[in-house]
Each structure stands twice: as C-alpha cells, then as structure tokens.
Amino acid sequence: FNSAGAGIFGHLSDSKLGRKGSLTVVCILNAIFGISTAFSPNYWIYTLLRFLTGFSTGGVGLCAFVLATEPIGPTKRGIAGMSTFYFFSAGIALLSAIAYAFKSWRHLYIASSVPSFLFLFLVLPFISESPRWFLVRGRVTHATNLMSAIAKSNGRHLPDAAILALDDDISKQSTQIEETAQSGSLIDVIRSPITRIRLILAVAINFMCAVVYYGLSLNVVNLDTNIYLTVAVNAVAEMPAFLFTAVLLDLCGRKPLAIGTMWFSGGFCLAGSLMKGAGNWKIVRMGCGVLGIFGMAGTYNLLYIYTAELFPTVVRNAALGSATQASQMGAILAPFVVVLGGGLPFAVFAGCGIVGGALAFYLPETLNKPLYDTMGGLEDGEQRDCLLSV
C-alpha cells in the first residue's frame, strides 16, 4: 500500500493537486489513520488502518522532496536536496527514543502521528507551491508572482520585462506564452526512448538500494547486540553520509558518486558476510553494517535528487513515484533476506550494491544540467547535447 500511495500521489502531484496540495492531503490522512490505529478494537480494523496509513505515507517524502528542491537552481539543488534527509535520519533516531519511552503500542502510534498535525499547522502554511508546477499547468501569472516573491526574499528583483516560458516555447522561439496546461503520465515516460531506459534503470537501482538500506537496518536482529542502541547508531551513522554526499555531489557529479557509494556499501557488506564467530567478530560485523548503511544512505538519498533531475517537470513526480514504488518493494523483500540468517544477508546486500553501481554506468550525468519542464524540451536538450559532443 505504501508503494501504491507513492504512485498515486506522484501522479496527482503532477496533475490536479500539485506538490503542496498532495503533501497537505497525505499529511492529513497520515495523522488521521495513525491516531485511529491506536484505538483499533480488533485485529482486522488494526490491519485496515495500517494499510491506509502505509498508503498515505507513501506520498509524504515524495511530495515534500520535490516541493523543496524544484524551485532551486542547479548550483544549489544538490546541497538543498541532501539537507532534507537530515530530518529523516533525525526522525528515525527520535523514533528509537519515542519507542523506548512509550512501551504501549497504542501510545506509540499516537506519539508518532502527532508530528503530521504539527507539520500541517506550523510548516505548510508558510510553504508555496512549486513555480514549475504552476508553469506546466498554464498558470503563468501565478508562477511569475511566486518567482517575484522568491527574488524579493533573496534581496533581488525580477525584471518587469521577464517572461516565464516552458522549454517547449523557448525551443520554438515562441513570442507568445501559451497559458495552457501541459500534462504527462507514465505512458509518456515509457513511450519516449530517452525516458524509458532511464525509468527502467532508476527502478532497478532504487529497488536494489532499498534492499540494502532497509535490510541492513533490520539485520540488527542477527547481530546479537542491543537493538535500541544499534538502531540509533545506524541512524546517526547516516548523518555524516549526507554531509559527505552533499560536499561531493557538485564536485564529482551525480553518476560517479552514485556508483562509488553503492560499491562502498557493497564492499563492506561483502566483508561482513565473511566475518564469522563470536566475541570481537560481532563488533566487526556491526562495524561493517554501520559502514554499509553509511554508504547506502548516501546513495539512497542521492537517488532522489538524481531521479528527479532525469525527468521533466510534467512527469517528474510520476517517474519519481515509480522509483519510490520499486524502493518500497525492495523494503518489502528486505525482511525475507534478513531471516536467512548467518552471513547470507550480508552476501545478498553486497550483490545488490555492486550490481546497482554497475547499472548506474548507463545513466547520464545531470550535474549543472537544466531541469526540463516538458517531454519535448527534454528531447530537444538531449539532441543539442549529442550535437555538441560530436
């Protein structure tokens, strides 16, 4: 249901609801279903509410990330995107403390659902819709006004003669801005040879990355250590990975960094699979797991930025939603890998990390490339890049 929510709200955020509208809806649903779970009278109602909570949660990170990064220019987009994940890791670390404090599962569901209500009233009212979404929906005046407000907040001024236009209009050298809504769906992504191969690779890489990321987190049950402490250590280990990735993101580029972090994680997972015995070896295996999460946390969050930059605005959330669905499928598979026990989980995680890094070789670099708005604009841009390379 989580993956279904990511796909549905990914489509809705590209079309009718927009990024902010979709985020508002999923936060409301997440809070209502989460708190309602605490009052479940029987198992079947509990199960239904967990399904519905998973459905709404699937769109939260997706919509929030795109809304936070879409208005950012290419020079700051990487740093801005990576900074959002500090809150994700901080939330996991905080959840460990909340779970330790609230032993009752009913109280835990209430405590973990309250942040969604707080976000609705304390954060969302101060967030604006994405100007790119306004533009592709034909609401040029709204997009222009919002860009003027952004410029003013940065101590700058948007020239009165400035005109916002879709990349389709620019490529056609149109002198008249068409205030018509552009639409797109996964059908358009699959139909285009350029975006089709990107989607297949993004889905496969996100799937493998999620198997490793969630699998290493769940694999603490096989390490015979304090579960609360290990989960907290794993969450804290992710934070330096975000800083490391944010620093190198604009220096090395998206593609080399994605390959490097996946192979880094895969290498330590391979080492962990070879560690056997008790005593100090348990600490060594735990260290391999922490370093594996360090590498894969950088990849996992980098893929959000990378995938978003691979697709135009008109289908960005739909494509990112598909990648997120694949990621959730990997998360579903991860527990089945963990129950294998012994060194096998580490071996599977190593294989996923190494193969995922190899697949990333076939993706294009997006560093300092523009965020295209339409499918036509993307195709024109790719043709220009091909001509320039020749």
**How high does pLDDT run on average in the chain?**
81
Q: What percent of the chain has pLDDT over 70?
A: 85
When comparing pLDDT for 307 and 370, which is higher? 307
* HSE of 158, CA atoms in CB hemisphere, 13 A: 14
The two tokens of residue 253 are 């580029």
**Cα–Cα dist 81/302, whole Å:** 8
Its pTM stands at: 0.73
pLDDT band of residue 355 (cuts 50, 70, 90) is very high
**Cα–Cα dist 152/140, whole Å:** 18
Token pair 């190899």 in the structure block, residue: 358
Report DSSP letters for 114-127, one per residue: HHHHHHHHHTGGG-
The two tokens of residue 163 are 């005109």
* Interacting residues of 155 by C-beta distance below 8 A, sequence separation 6+: none
Which domains, from first to last, does the chain contain?
Answer: 131-182 (no CATH), 186-389 (1.20.1250.20)
In this predicted structure, what is the pLDDT of residue 175? 45
Q: Is 373 helix (H, G, I), strand (E, B) or coil?
A: coil
User: Which of 139, 194, 189, 129 is CA-nearest to residue 315?
Assistant: 189
Token pair 């993101």 in the structure block, residue: 249
In this predicted structure, what is the pLDDT of residue 279? 55
When comparing pLDDT for 42 and 224, which is higher? 42
pLDDT tens column, 255-309: 999 999 999 999 999 988 887 755 566 777 778 888 888 888 888 878 888 998 8
pLDDT tens column, 15-62: 778 888 888 888 899 889 989 999 999 999 999 998 888 888 877 777
**Are 37 and 105 in contact, with CB atoms under 8 Å apart?**
no
